[in-house]
Each structure stands twice: as structure tokens, then as C-alpha cells.
Amino acid sequence: MLDLLAGFIQELRTAGLPVSLTENLDAMEAVKHIPLEDREAFKYALAATLVKSNAHWKAFETVFEVYFSMRGPEYDIKQDGEGEGLDDAELQALLQAMQGDRPAGQGGGMDGLTPEELAEMLYKALMNADEAMIRALARQAVTRYSGMEPGRPVGGTYYLYRTLRQLDLEGMLQRMMDAERQSAQDGGGLTPLEERLARDEYEVRLDKLRKEIEAEIRRRLVADRGTEAMAKTLRKPLPEDIDFMHATREELTALRRALQPLTRKLAVRLARKRRHGRKGPLDFRNTVRHSLSYGGVPAEPKFRYPRPSKPEIMVIADISGSVAAFARFTLQLVYAISSQFSKVRAFVFIDGIDEVTRYFEGVEDITDAVHRVNTEADVIWVDGHSDYGHAFEVFWERWGKEITTKTTVLLLGDARNNYHASQAWVVQELRKRARHVYWLNPEPRSYWDTGDSIVSEYATFCDGAFECRNLKQLERFVEHLG
């Protein structure tokens, strides 16, 4: 047990969770008080002692599943083929009840069923929200459709895809909705509200089924390949470490979700920083006024607190394909905390440049505005390949005069200029007029200035060029900005 826990904690650390030695000891202590056969309680005991942030919960859960999926009676997998994991007497009885017209004891559980019958049973189980049944059927579906073979070097997602394709969950949802409509026929049909509620309910159930299938596949893969190998393949970056440029669609959703609490935190922190800046020079009037309550003795010196003016931000972002996600997140972040700046203006470019501030004005939903920026802004000049030089030139001509000493300019992009002229003099001019000019690059520093990237040419004229590959780095930069 100790070995197992040690391995488990090691894996958590590799996955990026900060687990300290004391927390490790706490976990050991905690499991002593928990009946080991209670898997849920065991999981919560570990979570309470080891995971100290909700963002890490998902990573924890995955690692937990891998390490402890083989334990606990209900999760036993019989390795000898016949009736895999389905010999539970209770389950068997359930099956019989569901099958109804089938003669009892035929064909060892579900193995004898035709695919149509299996689908039918699944449908019934989903309609009745019968969890035990859904779990059993998920297992059966995996056995049948995933085509798993020991030692085959294919990822779990492949098996998942194969299984789900056979089950046709979309069709299942449709069928359940039809049944719902049918049964409501007498009462005058479903109102849109009822329809929506029913759909949500069924989607939740289907989601449960999907999770069961996923868990089942994972269990089998663990059995096949061993815990460590499996943990390694399942290791995913935490939301704050996801690379903007290479995020999958799923990861982008995770990022979006992580962004919202982040902006809230950031806004609070910036506001606080503004209020609690360092002390300024002595405020003579105020000190004298307060000295009256001490009989004229200036016992309590008062200081003038500096109130730094809020910076004005100009974001100039490359939104061509490769760096679009990065631009989107940065715009979203900057606008979400726009109350911390006196003014925010946004410009986007590919080879042409366009001001998009208007999309954000008076809009409550920033996501929506960012979406409109990506679809409606006029950013194509010739061929739709990034041309920083031309974009900067146009910017300088049209908006250069509006830059004041209060303005901070953020330049966003990978500076991959497709071998066009750099026109770096624009950045130099910007630097002369503006308070600060920063360059944010979503590429790893080691890629800078390779190929057609000319970031250094611009960076020499900036106050700083930063690598911003993930939320963590972006957060650090924005905080520094406020």
C-alpha cells in the first residue's frame, strides 16, 4: 500500500501538482482513518489532503483512476475471457428482468445478444436512468466494439471512438426525444421549455454512459500495459500550462473556462495593488490636522499616497491562423480587466490592419465580441499572409498621432513575416511616443529568429519582449502591466 501511494504521489507531481512532503504525510495519516474498501471515501481522503486547487481536480481524478481502478470488488476484471466482469449474480438477475421474453440462463449474460438487442437494452437502461445497467452495458459495448487487443500500441481515444461510433449516441438521443414527445402527445405536446429540459436530462445520462465507457477502456488499458505507462500517456497539461499555439479543441474549452476566474482574480489584485502602493512623501497639511488631537504634537505622520494614473492600452494583434488563439485570449483577458485601464483600444492585422475597438464597446459578452473580431474585421490586404511591416506602416499613418505618453502599446504575434520588409522603424517611432512598447510572442524562446521570424529586429526597439505560451505567463505579464 505504501509503495502504491508513493507511486501515486510521484505521478501527481509529474503531472504538475505541487504536493509537499507534509501533504504526503497527511495523506498517509488520512487513509488510516478510512475504511479501505470504500473507494469513494478513499478518493476524497486523498483529494482533501493532496489537491489544494480545484483546477487540479481533473488531473488528480485521472491519475487516481489509473492507479486505483483495479482495486475494489465491483471493478474486478476477469482475465479469462468468458463473460467478462459480468458474472455478478445481481447483475445477471437484472439482465434477466430486462430481457424479459428471453429464456433464463441462456448464453452466459450478454454475450449472446445481437447488436440490436444490445442497443435496445441500452436504450431502456438510459430511459430508466438505471446506473448499474448502464455500467454493465458500457462494459459489454467495450468488449464488443472497441476491438482491443493486448499489446497494441494505440491510444485510448481510438478505442473510445470505435466504441462510440458503433453505439450511435446521437441517434439514441434522437430516439429518446421522440419517445418523450410521443408520451407527451396526449397533454398537447411538449413546450419548448419541457423539450429543452428533457434533452438536458438525456444528455446528462448519455454523458454518464460515455464516461463509463471511457473508464472501462482505461481500466483495460491499465491491465494491459501497467500503471506507469498508462499514467504517462494520460498525462495532460494543467489548464494554466496549456500551450496556446498547440491547444486541441478540448484544451481550448478548458482554457476558456480557466480564463474567467483568472480575470476576476487579476482585476482584484490590480485594484489592490493600485490602492496599496508604496507610501509617498509626507503630507504636511494632513499631518498638522491630525496633530490637533494630540495637542499639537505631530505624533502621527501622514503620507501622500501616490495615485498612479491608469495606463491606456493599445493592443495590436496578429490574428493569422497560427497565432489566432493567442490573440483571442489576450484580447479577452485585457478587455475583461479593462476597468483597470483608462482606455483600451484594439487593432488586429494579418497583412492589412483594422481597428476593432468598436466591437467591444457596450458589449457585455466579450467572447462574442472576440468572435466578431475574428470574422468581421477587415484585415486582408493582398494575400492573407502575415505582413507585419505593412500592417505597422498603415498603423503608423492612420493612428500613430493618437499615441501619447500615457499609452502602453502591446504588440502580439510570432513575428513570422513571410520575408516581407520588417519596417522596424515604426516600432522605434512608437517607442519614442508611447510610455512603453511590449512584444508578446506565443512561441517558445528557442524558436525566435528561426526561419522567417524576425522578432529581435522589433524587440530591439521595445521595452521588453516576452514569451507568452500559456495562461500562467500571460497572467504574469498582465499583472506586471497594471
Partner 1 sequence: MAEPRFETVPAVRESLRDVGYLADEGIAGVVYLADRLGKPVLVEGPAGTGKTQLAKSVAEMTGARLIRLQCYEGLDESKALYEWNYKKQLLRIQVERESSTWQEIEDDIFTEDFLLTRPLLEAIRADDPVVLLIDEVDRVEVETEALLLEILSDYQVSIPELGTVVAKQIPLVFLTSNNTRELSEALKRRCLYLHVDYPTLEREKEIVTTRVPDISEHLADQVVRIVRSIRQLELKKAPSVSETLDWARTLVLLGIQNVDADQAKETLHILLKYQSDIAKATKELTVS
User: Which candidate, 36, 50, 43, places its Cα nearest to that of 66?
Assistant: 43
225 binding partner 1? (CB under 8 A): no
Q: Which is nearer to partner 1, 199 or 431 (CB)?
A: 199
CA distance 38 to 19: 24
* 30 in contact with partner 1 (CB under 8 A): yes
Helix ranges (DSSP H) in 33-167: 39-50, 57-68, 89-99, 115-128, 131-145, 156-167
Strands 464-467 and 353-355, bridge-based pairing: unpaired
Out of 112, 115, 171, 261, name the contact with partner 1 by CB under 8 A: 261
C-alpha 208/C-alpha 452 separation (Å) is 48
Give how many residues touch partner 1 by CB under 8 A.
Answer: 42
Residue located via cell numbers 482491443: 148
Any residues with CB less than 8 A from the CB of 191 and at least 6 apart, and which?
none
Interface with partner 1 includes 57 (CB under 8 A)?
yes
Site membership for partner 1, residue 479 (CB under 8 A): no
278 lies in the binding site for partner 1 (CB under 8 A): no
Among 5, 16, 41, 245, binds partner 1 (CB under 8 A): 41
- Reduced to 3 states (helix: H, G, I; strand: E, B; else coil), residue 27 is helix
CB of 339 to partner 1, least distance (A): 14
User: 70, 197, 229, 421: which one contacts partner 1 (CB under 8 A)?
Assistant: 197
Neighbours of 162 (CB within 10 A): 17
Asked if 277 interacts with partner 1 (CB under 8 A), we say no
Q: Is 29 in the site for partner 1 (CB under 8 A)?
A: yes
- Minimum distance from residue 256 beta carbon to partner 1 (Å): 9
Minimum CB separation of residue 196 from partner 1 in Å reads: 5
Q: Which stretch binds partner 1 (CB under 8 A): 39-47, 112-120, 229-237, 458-466?
A: 39-47
The DSSP secondary-structure symbol of 460 reads: T
**Among 49, 59, 85, 57, residue whose Cα is nearest residue 70:** 85
| Cβ–Cβ < 8 Å for 163, 220 | no
Using N-to-C axis directions, what is the helix angle for 2-14 and 227-234, rounded to 10°? 20
Q: Does 191 contact partner 1 by CB under 8 A?
A: yes
Beta carbons of 349 and 391 less than 8 angstroms apart: yes
- Is 264 near partner 1 (CB under 8 A)? yes
Q: Where are the alpha helices (DSSP H) in 337-451?
A: 357-360, 366-376, 388-399, 425-433
Q: Which is nearer to partner 1, 197 or 421 (CB)?
A: 197
| Candidate list 13, 246, 265, 432; residue touching partner 1; CB under 8 A | 265
Shortest Cβ distance from residue 369 to partner 1 (Å)? 12
78 near partner 1, judged by CB under 8 A: no
Residue from 102, 269, 310, 372 in contact with partner 1 (CB under 8 A): 269
Structure-block grid coordinates of residue 3: 509503495
Exposed, middle or buried by CB within 10 Å (0-12, 13-18, 19+), for 66? buried
> Could you say which of 14, 36, 37, 44 contacts partner 1 (CB under 8 A)?
44
Q: Is 130 in the site for partner 1 (CB under 8 A)?
A: no
Residues that bind partner 1 (CB under 8 A): 18, 20, 22-23, 26, 29-30, 33-34, 38, 40-41, 44-45, 47-49, 51-54, 57, 191-193, 195-197, 199-201, 204, 261, 264-265, 268-269, 272, 276, 364-365, 367
